[in-house]
Structure 1
Amino acid sequence: MADIGVQLMMLKDQVAADGMYPVLEKLKDMNIASVEVSQIPMTEENTAALERGVTELGIKVGALSVALEAGALSGADSLEADYDKILADCRRLDVRFLRIGMMPFEAMVSQEATEAWAAKVEPYAARLKEDGVTLCYHNHHVDLHKYDNGERIFDVVRRVAPNLHFEVDLHWVQRGGMAPLDMLKAYAGVCKLIHVKDYRVTSLPQEAIDLMTAGKIMEGYEKFVNIIEFAEVGQGNMNWPDLLPASVEAGAEFFFIEQDMTYGRDPYDCIRDSREYLTSIGW
């Protein structure tokens, strides 16, 4: 059974304010087995605290975030400039997976641009494989965009970069219009990491009703269609009792709870609710 972990992006403010180790202690108390590091710099201080968490708390570091090129928007260490440091961090923390959170926007504008980006990634994915680390690509809804030849963006990535595996964000697959079970089946064997977050449709906002009543149909319609939220696991429409076993069958080794926006709630409370739901269905 895959570990239930947390995407530390949810707690980046808490890490900055309180330090990494106290955050890990709180997660351990919530029955969280692993973490994925994103949007948190891999400084010596944070790396040492993660190492302490591995040793003293038994929390695994399931994956670290990297960028392809230096200066990328993510702020993560880059494979281009920091390969040796990244590999040293992996070995120090016993990390077997790295993940690229998103390709640059300019790589999404055409099939040729996507192919060019994937071709740059492939040598690093192959090199990391030789060094015992699997590089994964994290999808968003845009990665389900189809080019004229019928290939989705992530189809192009898989074709051009066969050593690059996937971190499947099931919420974004759903938002992109593909059934998550279909995605897992189509990419069985290369779905190594899974982002577990729910897909909530909120109630119709009064603003939409008021605009339509006032005759501002299109303005009201925009408010009507944009009622999707990121949700605590179990508080949306995703079919987790089927999705989690299917993810394991597809090759998943880590599940990371993630909620991009918590809408004013304390992220610890959101994580606790998600973890308790997963426990209630046998995970």
Structure 2
Amino acid sequence: AWHNHDFEFKPLVDGSLPQEHILSAAPDIGWEMDVAWVVRGGADPLPWIEKHGKRISAVHVKDMAKPGEGLDEDGWSDVGHGTIDWAGLIKTLRAKSATKYFVMEQDNPNDIERFARRSIQSVKNY
């Protein structure tokens, strides 16, 4: 499956998005959707889930820090403590996608045990 980053959601000169080109050019490839990179790329993940949900086999569950926070962690946050509505997204993903795996991550945690503990506690409520 294709794992995206933010640059796949940055418009090309013609206004099209690289992620659309990738999914169109490879109709049999799955998508390992990294939601936080979708958001960092400037896109709303919900329409992408609606349109390509059957191709989403795995989801990277990570969160973006609130403005002014997480500066020492490259703007990332513990899951459930940032700006992404994970409770709503997980509900939508379960209903509208083929997601089998939810991979919790943080790209630059300064305390991995804190990240794991707080993130696991958050997702238990979803």
The two structures share one fold, judged by TM-score above 0.5: yes
Q: Please show how residues 93-112 of structure 1 align to structure 2 within 5 Å.
A: none
User: Structure 1 residue 231 and structure 2 residue 77: aligned?
Assistant: yes
Q: Is the 8 A contact 1:198 1:232 kept in 2?
A: yes
Are positions 1:180 and 2:27 aligned together?
no
Bigger relative CO (Cα 8 Å, ≥ 6 apart): 2
| Paired residue secondary structure (1:235) | coil
Partner of 2:117: 272
Q: CA deviation at 1:151?
A: 2.4
Do the aligned partners of residues 153 and 271 (structure 1) sit closer, same or farther apart at CA in structure 2, a change above 3 Å counting? same
Three-state SS of the structure 2 residue aligned to 1:201 is coil
Report matched runs for 1:191-210 at 5 Å: 191-203=56-68
Partner secondary structure for residue 53 of structure 2: coil
Structure 2 unaligned segments of length 5 or more: list them. none
Supply the distance in 2 between the matched residues of 1:228 and 1:271 (Cα, whole angstroms).
17
Distance 1:182 1:228 in 2: 26
Partner of 1:255: 102
Asked if the contact 1:173–1:179 (Cα under 8 Å) also holds between the matched residues in 2, the reply is yes
Does the CA-based 8 Å contact 2:80-2:119 persist in structure 1?
yes
Alignment of 1:46-125 (within 5 A): none
Which runs of structure 1 show a deviation greater than 3 angstroms over 4 or more consecutive aligned residues? none
Match of 2:36 in 1: 171
Distance 2:78 2:7 in 1: 22
Q: Is the 8 Å Cα contact of residues 199 and 229 (structure 1) preserved in structure 2?
A: yes
Instruction: Give me the CA root mean square deviation.
Output: 2.0
Quick one: distance in 2 between partners of 1:157 and 1:237? 27
Asked if the contact 1:139–1:169 (Cα under 8 Å) also holds between the matched residues in 2, the reply is: yes
Letter in 2 for 1:229: G
Deviations 1:144-182 (A, max 9, x none): 022234321111111111111111111111111111112
How many matched pairs? Answer: 123
Describe the shift of the 1:229–1:241 C-alpha distance in structure 2 as closer, same or farther (beyond 3 A): same
Whole-angstrom distance in 2 between the partners of 1:186 and 1:268: 36
Quote the Cα distance in structure 2 between the aligned partners of 1:172 and 1:139.
Answer: 7
Q: Is the helix fraction higher in 1 or 2?
A: 1
CA shift at 1:230, angstroms?
Answer: 1.1
Alignment-mate amino acid for residue 252 of structure 1? T
Q: Max radius of gyration: which structure?
A: 1
Percent identity over the alignment is 25
Provide the rounded CA distance (Å) in 2 between the counterparts of 1:230 and 1:171: 9
Question: Does the alignment pair 1:245 with 2:91?
Answer: yes
Aligned partners of 1:201 and 1:228 also within 8 Å: no
Distance 1:178 1:228 in 2: 19
